[in-house]
């Protein structure tokens, strides 16, 4: 039995009774009534036999137990759960192959891991083991094993992510069901499955899918540990955090302090035992994550690939810098712009890249145009229900498991939301998938209690208020995508408000426990759930029907005024910036937009898109080609672009500081500005059949079929040919992964056949666009400059190649 300060009267059949919670009961010695608790004590599932001798029996009865579920569950519960799981699998697998390689950066590493066990272990970008991705490799391992089993394809890469999503829904249900009713667990699972950003990331190959699964498992372990002060389950929780660290480094620890404090405060045992158990859990974390870190740190650099994303070939500096504290304070060494800073004097359009390109910080950040439609549909309800849950359990005993559950999920939500709201470093909308389990759990738990207490008017009013707030907020979010199912926002609003009124009115129509009142409440509940989940469900379905690829992806349709939602990864409409590859035609951004079809990165700019007070004409921002048409003016003057270039301050053809230019007559970077294009930085490159044939010639005689700047560019050629391609400079092209002398040595040894020009982000004010004074040329830019001056260029399929085995005479 769980612990609580309240126990129901003997023989009372609740929690399944229709009048749950039971009526108020007299307080002993006073005769005054004491309100029945909103979340009363419930029995835990029976514990089966343990030990090796029990395994055969447990395996033999597994099919029956999987179908039947808990013995105290009504018979409809397990079929409903299995239906939810099946629907989630279908939703996440439907049309999965349309996204192609998704994020080619990680797909190339998966392909490398399927060819080389060394690349598999380190998470190398290529089978030649030149450089790793900028994350630990745990998320790559299931995908690489899938590719080894089923061959390289979009499905074999992405299907493990979809299955992780379904597993997360199942774990969330099990966690909520430990302390609450099946209704609460099912509602939590459905809310998670239909969260737009969850639908997006469980169909994509970034590390976030595995991260969320492992953190949800950690929450399950924490709930189990708190029930009986179980050391075994606390060790399980620490182990899950350790593997989550090997998935996405410090992102795994956003909720760790909250979990540690919660256990130290509420676990039903003495303080010193709680402290010892917590320290043991920390040891489990260190061991489960530290073994891999120790191998990487202790091996000499010559025996392993370069640690991608770091500036000193150290995984620890990557963890605490670019992937850690740098994300919070904005000082990410080696990120876009170097240290997270854009060039001095760069004046982008209002709202386009505020706060150095990663969105406006502040308490309302998660509810804004960029992010609201990704995660925030149920966040107001979750926050309200968190307060309700903590208030309702305020007088319960310290180790009460209902309050502990609200603390666990509330701690997850609050700690993560605050960090996301105020972090000033790299922040993408899809990061918010880390909030989805907590939001869904709080909604499921809170609604469970209020629904079964609805016969009492205050709780009915509270439940109706939560529903009305949710419907009103969905109306606002859907209004930001006014061209997307315009009827839906009104249906959600009217349905939600009508259901809220019916929940309260049902109190006066025969009573909730009467037949008429019960029917009214049931219909109102169904309509209310449909209204609450209608908006996110529509966004989720739209996400499933859209191919997503590149490094910046968002869920749902285009959103007016947003640098993101619906705009990256698809051809955008009004209010959209491109989708990893192109801006939408006529797209607006805030008061203006960034052009029409094409342009970010490497595409062709559009015509007449608004940009602040003026327009970009055809010609692309940045890395586009062609000259402007239909354009007006913009900061820095008229935009008639050369081959992807922009000149310096006050120039007639571009943004101050030359952000980011390329080679060409108008491709000069300004003082301290970027030179080199961004083509390929955020998305891959289309590789022609001619280029594939060229790179495949005699590729078996070389360690790397080619080298190029930037991991996305390299990944495109590697996935097209199946041959290792060296990614100079890593993801951003800025990692000091190889000096010019080192590259020259590789060329002399005959390890690299071709060099592909035009990789992403070829330098800060150096070669690749005649950068102005004050710029700093990267190692990758130095290598490209040496190659272009010592080898003859050859154009194949629109790309420029240099044969490194045939120097100029």
What pLDDT digit, counting tens, does each position of 68-114 carry?
A: 777 778 889 999 999 999 999 999 999 999 999 999 999 999 999 99
Least confident of 242-251, 343-352, 431-440: 343-352
Which pLDDT does position 357 carry in this prediction? 53
pLDDT class of 66 with cuts at 50, 70, 90 = confident
Q: Is pLDDT of 612 > 90?
A: no
Q: Is pLDDT of 790 > 60?
A: yes
Which pLDDT does position 35 carry in this prediction? 57
Kindly state the average pLDDT of the residues 509-526: 75
Distance CA 799, CA 804 (A): 16
Which pLDDT does position 763 carry in this prediction? 40
Tokens representing residue 22 in the block: 């039971």
Which pLDDT does position 386 carry in this prediction? 97
CB-based contact 802:792 (threshold 8 Å):
yes
Q: For 120-177, what is the HEC assignment?
A: HHHCECCCCCCEECCCCCCCHHHHHHHHHHHCCCHHHHHHHHHHHHHHHHHHHHHHHH
- CA-nearest of 671, 609, 676 to 639 is 609
Least confident of 33-42, 268-277, 337-346: 337-346
Which pLDDT does position 3 carry in this prediction? 39
Which pLDDT does position 580 carry in this prediction? 32
Which pLDDT does position 9 carry in this prediction? 35
Which pLDDT does position 110 carry in this prediction? 97
Q: For 514-528, what is the HEC assignment?
A: CHHHHHHHHHHHHHH
Kindly state the average pLDDT of the residues 607-615: 34
Is 386 or 616 the better-scoring residue by pLDDT?
A: 386
Which pLDDT does position 776 carry in this prediction? 58
Which pLDDT does position 670 carry in this prediction? 33
Least confident of 111-115, 117-121, 342-346, 499-503: 342-346
Kindly state the average pLDDT of the residues 125-132: 96
Strand residue runs (E) in 573-670:
609-611, 614-616, 633-634, 637-638
10 Å Cβ neighbour count for 54?
Answer: 11
| Centroid of chain to Cα 402 | 29
What CA–CA distances, in Å, run from 303 to 118, 292, 297, 443? 10, 15, 11, 50
Q: Is pLDDT of 770 > 60?
A: no
pLDDT tens profile 668-718: 333 333 333 344 455 667 899 999 999 999 899 999 999 999 999 999 999
Q: Is pLDDT of 268 > 70?
A: yes
Please enumerate in sequence order all residues whose Cβ is within 8 A of that of 410, keeping only pairs 6 or more positions apart, or say none.
386, 389, 390, 438, 442
pLDDT tens profile 188-210: 999 999 999 999 999 999 999 99
Bridge partner list, 637:
634
- CA-nearest of 578, 73, 748 to 65 is 73
pLDDT class of 394 with cuts at 50, 70, 90 = confident
Which pLDDT does position 145 carry in this prediction? 98
Q: Is pLDDT of 757 > 70?
A: yes
Least confident of 230-244, 397-411, 522-536, 640-654: 640-654
pLDDT tens profile 539-563: 999 999 999 988 889 999 988 766 5
Show the CA angle centred on residue 217, arms to residues 214 and 218, nearest 5°.
90
DSSP state of 589: B
pLDDT class of 419 with cuts at 50, 70, 90 = very high
């Amino acid at each position: 039995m769980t612990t609580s300060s309240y126990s129901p009267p003997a023989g009372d059949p609740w929690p399944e009774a229709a009048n749950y919670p039971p009526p108020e009961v007299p307080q002993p010695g006073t005769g005054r009534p004491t309100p029945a608790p909103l979340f009363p004590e419930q029995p835990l599932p029976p514990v089966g036999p343990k030990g090796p001798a029990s395994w055969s029996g447990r395996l033999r009865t597994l099919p029956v137990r999987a179908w039947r579920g808990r013995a105290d569950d009504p018979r409809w519960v397990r079929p409903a759960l299995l239906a939810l799981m099946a629907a989630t699998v279908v939703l996440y697998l439907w049309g999965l192959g349309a996204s192609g390689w998704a994020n080619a950066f990680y797909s190339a590493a998966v392909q490398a891991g399927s060819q080389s066990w060394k690349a598999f272990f380190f998470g190398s970008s290529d089978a030649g083991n030149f450089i790793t991705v900028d994350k630990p490799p745990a998320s790559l391992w299931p995908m690489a094993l899938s590719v080894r089993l089923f061959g390289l394809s979009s499905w074999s890469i992405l299907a493990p992510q979809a299955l992780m999503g379904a597993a997360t829904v199942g774990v969330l249900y099990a966690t909520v069901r430990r302390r609450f009713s099946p209704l609460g667990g099912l509602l939590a699972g459905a809310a998670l499955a239909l969260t737009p950003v969850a639908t997006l990331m469980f169909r994509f190959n970034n590390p976030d899918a595995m991260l969320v699964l492992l953190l949800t498992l950690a929450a399950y372990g924490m709930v189990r540990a708190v029930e009986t002060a179980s050391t075994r389950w606390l060790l399980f929780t620490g182990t899950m955090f350790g593997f989550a660290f090997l998935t996405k480094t410090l992102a795994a620890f956003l909720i760790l302090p909250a979990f540690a404090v919660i256990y130290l405060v509420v676990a039903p045992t003495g303080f010193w035992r709680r402290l010892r158990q917590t320290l043991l859990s920390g040891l489990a974390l260190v061991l489960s994550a530290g073994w891999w870190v120790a191998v990487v740190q202790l091996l000499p650099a010559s025996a392993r690939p370069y640690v991608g994303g770091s500036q000193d070939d150290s995984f620890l500096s990557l963890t605490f810098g670019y992937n850690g504290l740098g994300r919070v304070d904005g000082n990410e060494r080696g990120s876009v712009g170097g240290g997270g800073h854009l060039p001095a004097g760069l004046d982008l359009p209002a709202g386009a890249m505020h706060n150095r390109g990663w969105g406006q910080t502040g308490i309302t950040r998660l509810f804004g145009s960029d992010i609201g439609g990704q995660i925030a549909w149920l966040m107001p309800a979750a926050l309200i229900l968190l307060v309700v849950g903590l208030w309702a359990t305020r007088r319960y005993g310290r180790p009460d498991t209902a309050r502990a559950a609200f603390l666990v999920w509330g701690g997850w939500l609050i700690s993560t939301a605050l960090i996301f709201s105020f972090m000033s470093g790299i922040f993408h909308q899809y990061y918010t998938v880390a909030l989805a389990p907590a939001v869904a759990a709080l909604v499921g738990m809170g609604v469970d209690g209020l629904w079964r207490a609805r016969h009492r008017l205050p709780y009915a009013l509270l439940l109706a208020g939560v529903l009305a707030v949710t419907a009103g907020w969905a109306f606002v979010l859907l209004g930001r995508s006014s061209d997307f199912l315009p009827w839906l926002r009104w249906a959600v609003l009217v349905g939600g408000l009508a259901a809220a009124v019916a929940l309260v009115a049902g109190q006066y129509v025969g009573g909730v426990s009467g037949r008429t009142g019960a029917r009214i409440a049931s219909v109102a509940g169904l309509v209310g759930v449909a209204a609450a989940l209608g908006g996110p469900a529509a966004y989720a379905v739209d996400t499933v029907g859209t191919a997503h690829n590149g490094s910046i992806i968002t869920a749902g349709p285009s959103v007016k005024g947003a640098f993101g939602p619906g705009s990256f990864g698809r051809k955008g409409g009004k209010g959209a910036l491109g989708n990893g590859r192109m801006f939408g035609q006529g797209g607006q951004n805030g008061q203006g937009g960034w052009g029409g079809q094409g342009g970010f990165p490497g595409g062709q700019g559009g015509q007449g898109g608004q940009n602040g007070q003026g327009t970009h004409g055809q010609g692309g921002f940045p890395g586009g080609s062609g000259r402007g048409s239909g354009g007006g003016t913009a900061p820095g003057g008229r935009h008639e672009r050369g081959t992807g270039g922009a000149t310096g301050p006050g120039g007639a053809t571009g943004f101050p500081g030359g952000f980011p230019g390329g080679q060409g007559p108008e491709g000069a970077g300004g003082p301290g500005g970027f030179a080199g294009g961004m083509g390929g930085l955020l998305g891959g490159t289309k590789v022609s059949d001619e280029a594939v044939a060229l790179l495949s010639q005699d590729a078996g005689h070389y360690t790397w079929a080619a080298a190029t700047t930037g991991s996305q560019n390299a990944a495109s050629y590697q996935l097209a040919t199946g041959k290792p391609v060296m990614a100079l400079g890593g993801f951003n092209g800025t990692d000091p992964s190889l000096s010019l002398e080192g590259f020259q040595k590789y060329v002399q040894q005959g390890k690299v056949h071709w060099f592909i020009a035009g990789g992403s982000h070829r330098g800060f004010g150096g070669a690749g666009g005649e950068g102005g004074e004050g710029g700093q040329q990267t190692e990758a830019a130095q290598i490209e400059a040496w190659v272009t001056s010592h080898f003859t260029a050859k154009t194949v399929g629109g790309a420029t190649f240099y044969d490194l085995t045939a120097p100029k005479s």
